[in-house]
Amino acid sequence: MGRFIARRLLIAIPTLVAISFIMYAILALAPIDPLASFGADPRVPPEARENIRRALGLDQPWPIRYVKWFTAMLQGDFGISFMSHSSVTTLIAQRLPNTLAVVGVAYLVGIAVAIPIGILSAVRRNSITDHVVSTFAYAGFSVPTFFTGIVLIIIFTIKLRWLPFIYDSTLKITDLGSLGSQLKQSIMPIAVLGLFDAAVLTRYVRSEMLEHLPLDYVRTARAKGLGERVVVVRHALRNSLIPVVTLIALGVPAVFAGAIVTEQVFHVPGIGELLVRSIGNGDTPVVSAIVMIFAALVVVFNLVADVLYAVLDPRIRYG
Amino acid sequence: MAATSQARVGTLPTEHWRPARSLWADAWLTFTRDKLAMVGLFMLAFLVLAVVVGPFLYEHPTGVIDFSKSLEGPSLEHPFGTDDLGRDLLGRILWGGRVSITVGITAVALAITLGMTVGALAGYFGRLDDPLMRVTDVFLSLPILPLLLVIIYLFRDSITQRFGPDVGIFLMIVTVIGILNWMPVARLVRASFLSLKNKEFVEAARCVGDRDGRIIFRHILPNVLSPVLVAATIGVGGAILTESTLSFLGLGFPPDVPTWGRLLFDSQQFLDIAPHWPIFPGLCIFVIVLSINFIGDGLRDALDPRRKI
């Protein structure tokens, strides 16, 4: 087992290095000047511009900058933001809790919704319940989250005036009232993302259950007189969940990427919103740090999925 | 497709006789029996027809600005209402739909071409397998949406300078979506090539003197087409979603190209006065992606060789 994980890690690390290199090269070779805003300002004299350039290390060739940036990143230092002049690590640390509060909770909601209705729809195959669930799942992952978000805003903020649509991250939960406002402001973004995640996962749960329900061991369980609930939950579900669990792990990076859009719709000051804003400002250090975080999420959760699969399914041998 | 037509071996009793059908005819028959897939096909046909023919029949000049009519709800004159500059939304949706759909199809065509090339090379030539699959794995680990945003932001200005704002953005969005989405197809094609290249029919082709190129294109590739077709269909839906996401984040087409995502982006500031504005373009994205997913799933079932007819 240890050797298996070690081998996977040995593949994951070069992948991350390769991605960081590709990304840095794209940013460095792009025909856009990170100091364009200074360059356009006639009040900045050329020598001052050169000094800024040197202070930011931009006078060196990019492969050297890449090596410096990479070694600093390994020590947790992503550099200084061009726009806010504070450390990128601090900026991201400020925003990450907001993203996690929305995306993390939404994913948990999605999982909590998907598993029971996926089971229900598989157990009652071709019933009305199954058709309703399948239609919901199809619709759920065909509708773009920004459209669901806008529709919810129109209904609950503009027509009914029940919920705010701008997320206030300065809100501190101190009493019941502020807890209520926190719930009110997060319910729409969580609902939008949760519905989408639930739609994707429901299909997986349903099809895995459908694969397992006709198998011999399920029939054996029934034959020895176990109740239907026990047969479904203790026998079929446990085996069906093995691939579902790995898919849940594999889905985490996509869920974070989906947050980019939702944070934009509801003005949640998370890392997705920071990415879009920094791209607009040409704030290269922040952009490269966030893209690296997303890349690391993909690699790490691929690894997690592999390991989970090997742990949960004894038929998989650690090769 | 002559190469894939089924040969009937032996003689069947006459009462079971039926006219010989090709694999594709069989698949079509199964497909037409799939209710959801047919619903999808009709919805898609309707939308495509609407954006292709619609702008000719629906003669509302799309660019006409009329401030006296700005942000009006749906009416007889403007069935989908108007935007902040008083432009007719139905006309804009029809025009924008052309762009959205063209982007989807072109981007997928690029992704499929790339993926089939990489997959065929990796699967057929053992020497290339390892390096090409390493590259594929790295691409699969790329964070696609963040990277799309970054690339488009970085290269937008230089490309629009060279090709003009509309064509430039179109080329760039199509290229970037294509380059970041070929990997699943490459894996699919490689896997099929690996399992097929040692089969007897390939050996036979080699024995009669066929060269590698002919074996790849004439003998192996036709057998790979059906999973690729399914992937391509679903990919078009995905590409349309990606394009509208980019436009929604303000990093897609310029304001004068009213793609569906762009219309939603523009509508955001006016949600309180003009809630009708985002509804119709949003519904268009939803319906087209939904119908493509229905068709894709129907095709998957219909082209599955294990299916029962």
Q: A93 to chain B nearest CA, in Å?
A: 19
A163 in contact with B at a CB cutoff of 8 Å?
no
How far apart (Å, rounded) are the C-alpha atoms in residues B219 and B3?
8
Model ipTM value: 0.82
Does the pLDDT value for residue B1 go beyond 50?
no
Q: Under DSSP, is residue B55 helix (H, G, I), strand (E, B) or coil?
A: helix
How many cross-chain Cβ pairs, A to B, lie less than 8 Å apart?
Answer: 124
Better pLDDT: A32 or B137: B137
| B268 inside 8 A of chain A by CB | yes
Which burial class, exposed, middle or buried, applies to A166 when counting CB atoms under 10 A from its CB (0-12, 13-18, 19+)? Answer: exposed
Q: Which residues fall within 8 angstroms of residue B213, CB to CB, at 6 or more apart?
A: none
For A27, which residue in chain B has the nearest alpha carbon?
Answer: B154
CB contact under 8 A, A18 and B138: yes
Interface touch A142/B290, C-beta < 8 Å = yes
Cβ–Cβ contact A275 with B under 8 A? yes
Write the CA distances from A153 to A13, A148, A159, A165, B266, integer angstroms: 42, 9, 9, 6, 15
**In chain A, whose CA is at the least distance from the CA of B271?**
A154
B281's CB contacts (< 8 A; 6+ apart) are: B89, B93, B96, B260, B261, B263, B264, B267
Any alpha helices (H) in A75-154, and if so which ranges? 88-99, 105-123, 128-142, 145-152
Higher pLDDT, B133 or A29: B133
Instruction: State how far residue A171 is from chain B, nearest Cα, in angstroms.
Output: 24
In this predicted structure, what is the pLDDT of residue A42?
Answer: 64
Interface with A, mutate which of B149, B233, B273, B293 (most A CBs under 10 A): B149
From B2's Cα to the closest Cα of chain A, the distance in A is 35
CB contact under 8 A, A144 and B248: yes
For residue B189, pLDDT over 90 is answered with yes
User: Which pLDDT score is estimated for A162?
Assistant: 78
**A15 at interface of B, judged by CB pairs closer than 8 A:** yes
Task: Round to the nearest angstrom and report the end-to-end CA distance of chain A.
Answer: 9
Q: How far apart are CA B267 and CA B283, in angstroms?
A: 14
Residue B85 φ then ψ, to 5°: -100, 10
pLDDT for B306 equals 67
Alpha-carbon dihedral of residues B190, B195, B199, B202, nearest 10 degrees? 0
One-letter amino acid at A1 equals M
Res. B10 pLDDT band, cuts 50 70 90? low
Chain B residues whose beta carbon lies within 8 Å of the beta carbon of residue A264: 248-249
Q: Please report residues of A whose CB lies closer than 8 A to that of B235.
A: none
**Is A23 near chain B, with CB under 8 Å?**
yes
Alpha helices in A124-237 (DSSP H): 128-142, 145-152, 176-212, 216-223, 228-230
Q: Which of residues 281-300 of A touch B (CB under 8 A)?
A: 287, 290-291, 294-295, 297-299
Reply yes or no on whether the pLDDT at B4 is more than 50: no
Q: What is the pLDDT along chain A (319 residues), one digit of tens a residue?
A: 778 888 888 888 888 888 888 888 888 777 666 665 555 566 667 777 777 777 766 777 888 888 888 888 888 788 778 777 788 888 888 888 888 888 889 999 999 999 999 999 998 888 898 889 988 888 888 888 889 888 888 888 877 877 777 777 666 667 777 777 777 778 888 999 999 999 989 989 998 999 888 889 999 999 998 888 888 888 889 888 888 988 899 889 888 888 888 888 888 888 988 998 888 887 888 888 898 888 888 888 988 888 888 888 777 665 5
Q: How far, in Å, are A269, B120, B136 from residue A292 at the CA level?
A: 19, 31, 18
Q: What pLDDT, on a 0 to 100 scale, did the predictor assign at position B141?
A: 81
Q: Which of B149, B237, B271 sits opposite A150 (nearest CB)?
A: B271
Please judge whether A154 and B138 are an interchain contact, meaning their C-beta atoms are less than 8 angstroms apart.
no
The most confident of the ranges A213-217, B82-86, B266-270 is A213-217
The alpha carbon of residue A76 is apart from the nearest alpha carbon of chain B, in Å, by: 20
Q: CB of B88 within 8 A of CB of B121?
A: no
Q: What's the pLDDT at A74?
A: 84
**What's the residue count for chain B?**
309
Contacts of B147 in chain A (CB under 8 A): 23, 26, 291
Say what the pLDDT of residue B163 is.
82
CB distance B285–A139 less than 8 Å? no
Q: Does B282 reach chain A within 8 Å, measured CB to CB? A: yes
Q: Which helix (H) or strand (E) holds B203?
A: helix B200-207
What residue of B is the nearest CA neighbor of A161? B272
